[in-house]
Chain A
Amino acid sequence: MKNKAMHLDDRLFSDKKLYLPLLAVVLILPWLPMGIAGPYVIRIATLTLVYMVLALGLNVVPGFTGLLDLGYVGFFGIGAYTAGLLTVYYHWSLWLVLPLAALNGALWGILRGAPTLRLSDDYFAIVTFGFSELIILVIKNELWLTRGPMGVPGIARPDLFGIVLNQPWQTYYLIFFFLLLVLWTVVRIRSSRLGRAWFAIREDEIAAECVGVNVARYKIIAFALSAAIGALAGAFYARWFRFIHPDMFKFWESILILCLIVFGGMGSITGALVGALVLIPLTEILRIVLPPEFSNARYLVFGLLIVVMMRWRPAGLLPVEKD
């Protein structure tokens, strides 16, 4: 009885009936008989998991603290370039490169967030947007470091205990492991003192300040965590895709990730996962189904989806229950 009253987010890890079937599906996916489509399906599944991590990471700022971040792809880019360049220049292991990328992401998250603390919602959104555009410009123009528009090819595959993971199912399990790690972190934080402080800030910043929540401190923690998760996803992406290019980190990507959490329900962890699970395979299907001249316009669906969701279901498909 008590379980039913609990929000989906809290049941995600505590309700065996809920998580065991899900876990089973994810784990056996690479071994399903898919014939020739196999590698392709695993690739889409891996991509979906990457976007799940991104959605969970973005969700921390707009979902938990109520501030609209329009430049999340900037951290994805920072992570991808940090990991990609360290790998190409120094040939370091994934397990060294990945934490460094996440740390670098967190650092930029703090640097970006600190001056915006006193800004209101829409100005915060503009600053985040401008920041990510500046990052892309720097990546594009600082050829000596990033090779600019030539991109960074030939990034080494992920490795584990000195073994190179060169099978698609291996990288698939790897990103699933990272997803579980991130998921566990955000689920735990959500129901901790930190999470409650964020929700208080989201509902009413001034009231939160008045009852003794250190708004500045908790916002900074949210910025750092969110950025670190984005950079982690980027670092994995660079090692998995083995090529990075400034055009992969355009504004649209930020909007796509935002769309995932708007669709699922802002602030809802399950919502972020469901959003990615539905929309990312959908983009891939649209890419195949639509004739090539239209496939570029598939973002049209996302624009429309955002507008429709905001109009009729502003809380998303799986809204967060409020007490």
Chain B
Amino acid sequence: MLNTLLEQSSLFLQQLVNGVTLGSIYALIAVGYTMVYGVIQLINFAHGEIYMLGAFLSFSLVTGFFGIGLPFGLAVVIAVIFCALAGVFLDIVAYRPLRRAPRLAALITAIGMSIFLQNLALLIWGAQIKSFPRAVVPAFLFAPALQFGDVVISWLQVVILTTAVLLMVMLQLIVHYTRIGRAMRAIAQDKTAAALMGVNVDRVVSYTFALGSGLGGVAGILVGLYYNAVYPTMGYFAGIKAFAAAVLGGIGSIPGAILGGGILGLAEVFGGGYISSSYSDGIAYAVMILVILVKPTGLFGRFARDKA
């Protein structure tokens, strides 16, 4: 009796740890959706692909896929910078020309970009699931950091959590205490008024894409390590779940995205563990639809996306 109780509770704790890890990754991606939506009211469908690129680039750089193998840390930094630049490039090439076009045009373009990037990755890297060879990744990541009975927290989980928390804190500092952050908030409130006050809207939007995409890239690398699997469609599923998290938290709100990511990560792990593992992917969709239908502003949202 006591034994089963112990087993149950350690299973519960393990699920909790896994859920929080997953949630912090979703939060990292969700922030990218929510920031872009905040400034230009666009659902950037291609954000999931940026995340996928982060995973692929770091993988390619450490394994020498492009000819030279780099040390792990350097590869990660380069991959993240590349993701940030890719986000900016995406905006300039695809979305900026459509700023004044009907919103449907930009939304369709975003879907087109998402498909384009996903298939580009398929062409470059192939459909086979890639995994990071153990030799190139710092070994301590796979060692357990903490262990209570059956509950194991690996160093990788610790790294994922601390990275996510640090980046979120940094992001909040940028958004609230820097000039560029103030400009972002101003544009989110009223783009025209901000432009009239001398805010260079295009430049701020570029910074927003860079920040969001950089965070997405970090998330991609972390997931690539966590599941030890990198493949072209990884951005599709993670993207949807992170988007659901952003909607749940209230799209446009950064704290909302963080909270939404956490809730969704936990819901997925616990739903998969205790309700039905075959429907664990469905939880994100169901949450997304329910929130949109019942409370479109989400938990902290400002955008009442009713008929404008």
Contact = CB atoms under 8 A, between A and B. Distances in A.
Contacts of B279: 137, 141
Nearest to A137: B282
A126 B112 contact: no
A70 interface: yes
Contacts of A120: 305-308
Interface stretch (A128-136, A158-166, A223-231): A128-136
A300 B286 CA distance: 29
B108 A306 contact: yes
B244 to A, nearest CB: 8
A122 B101 contact: no
Nearest to B94: A307
A119 B109 contact: no
Nearest to A143: B278
B307 A205 contact: yes
Given A307-B116, A310-B109, A296 B122 contact: yes
A311 interface: yes
Given A123-B296, A294-B123, A307-B94, A137 B105 contact: no
Given A206-B307, A310-B98, A310-B112, A293 B126 contact: yes
A277 interface: no
Q: Is the interface of B mostly helix, strand, loop or mixed?
A: helix
Contacts of A299: 115, 118-119
A249 to B, nearest CB: 15
A305 B108 CA distance: 11
B305 A122 contact: yes
Contacts of A251: 236
A62 B106 CA distance: 14
Range class of the B interface residue count = 35 or more
Interface in B105-141: 105-109, 111-120, 122-123, 126-127
Given A120-B307, A137-B279, A126 B119 contact: no
B152 interface: no
Given A134-B286, A294-B123, A307-B113, 7 more contacts: A68-B107, A122-B305, A123-B292, A126-B247, A293-B126, A296-B122, A314-B102
10 contacts: A70-B111, A122-B41, A126-B243, A126-B289, A141-B278, A294-B123, A296-B119, A297-B122, A302-B112, A303-B119
Closest 10 CB pairs of A and B: A306-B112, A303-B116, A303-B115, A300-B119, A307-B112, A130-B285, A297-B119, A310-B109, A297-B123, A297-B122
Interface of A: 62, 66, 68, 70, 115-116, 118-123, 125-127, 130-131, 133-134, 137, 140-141, 205-206, 251-252, 255, 258, 262, 293-294, 296-300, 302-307, 310-311, 314
